[in-house]
Amino acid sequence: MVHNFNAGPSVLPKTVFEQASQAILNFNNTGLSILEIGHRTSLFQNVMDEAIALVKELMQLDSNREVLFLHGGASTQFFQVPMNLLSEGETGAYLDCGTWGTKAIKEAKVFGNVDVVASSKDKNYSYIPKGYTIPAQAKYFHYTSNNTIEGTQMHSIPDSPVPLVADMSSDILSAVLDFNRFDLIYAGAQKNIGAAGVNLVIVNKEILGKVNRKLPSMMDYQQHIANGSMLNTPPVFAVYVCLLTLRWLKEQGGVAAIEKINNKKSELIYNTLDSLPVFKPTVAKEDRSKMNVVFSMENPELEKDFLDLCKKEGMVGIKGHRTVGGFRVSLYNALPLSSVEALTELMKHFALQHA
Question: Degrees (nearest 5) of the Cα angle 157, 161, 72?
Answer: 60
DSSP state of 11: -
- The answer to whether 340 contacts its own copies (rule: CB under 8 A) is no
- Rounded (10°) angle between helices 74-85 and 99-108: 40
- Comparing CB distances to its own copies, the nearer of 21 and 133 is 21
Pick one of 60, 121, 158, 197: the residue that binds its own copies (CB under 8 A): 197
What is the rounded CA–CA span in Å between residue 38 and residue 48?
13
Q: Which part of the chain contacts its own copies (CB under 8 A), choosing from 49-57, 72-80, 291-299, 346-354?
A: 72-80
**In the chain, beta strands by DSSP E:** 3-4, 65-71, 91-96, 113-119, 141-144, 146-147, 152-153, 164-167, 184-188, 198-204, 279-281, 292-297, 315-316, 327-330
96, 100, 139, 290: the active-site residue: 100
Identify the residue among 66, 96, 107, 287 touching its own copies (CB under 8 A): 107
**Active-site residue among 96, 139, 167, 220?**
167
Report the Cα 73 to chain-centroid distance in Å.
Answer: 10
Look up residue 311 and give its amino acid: K
Among 15, 45, 60, 75, binds its own copies (CB under 8 A): 75
Query: Cis bond leading into 9, ω under 30°?
Result: yes
Query: Which amino acid would we find at residue 44?
Result: F
Give least dist CB 355 to its own copies, A: 32
Site for its own copies in 174-193 (CB under 8 A): 188, 190
- Catalytic, 100? Answer yes
Q: Is residue 123 annotated as part of the catalytic site, yes or no?
A: no
d(CA 315, CA 169): 23
User: What amino acid is encoded at 122 in this protein?
Assistant: D
- CB 277 → its own copies: shortest distance, Å? 30
- The 225-264 contact track toward its own copies, x by CB under 8 A, reads ------xxxxxxxx--x-----------------------
Identify which of residues 2 and 337 has a Cβ nearer to its own copies in the complex.
2
Active site residues: 100, 167, 191
Q: Which residues make up the interface to its own copies (CB under 8 A)?
A: 1-2, 4, 6-12, 17-18, 20-22, 24-25, 30-33, 35-39, 71-76, 78-79, 83, 103, 106-107, 110, 188, 190, 195-198, 214-219, 231-238, 241, 314, 316-317
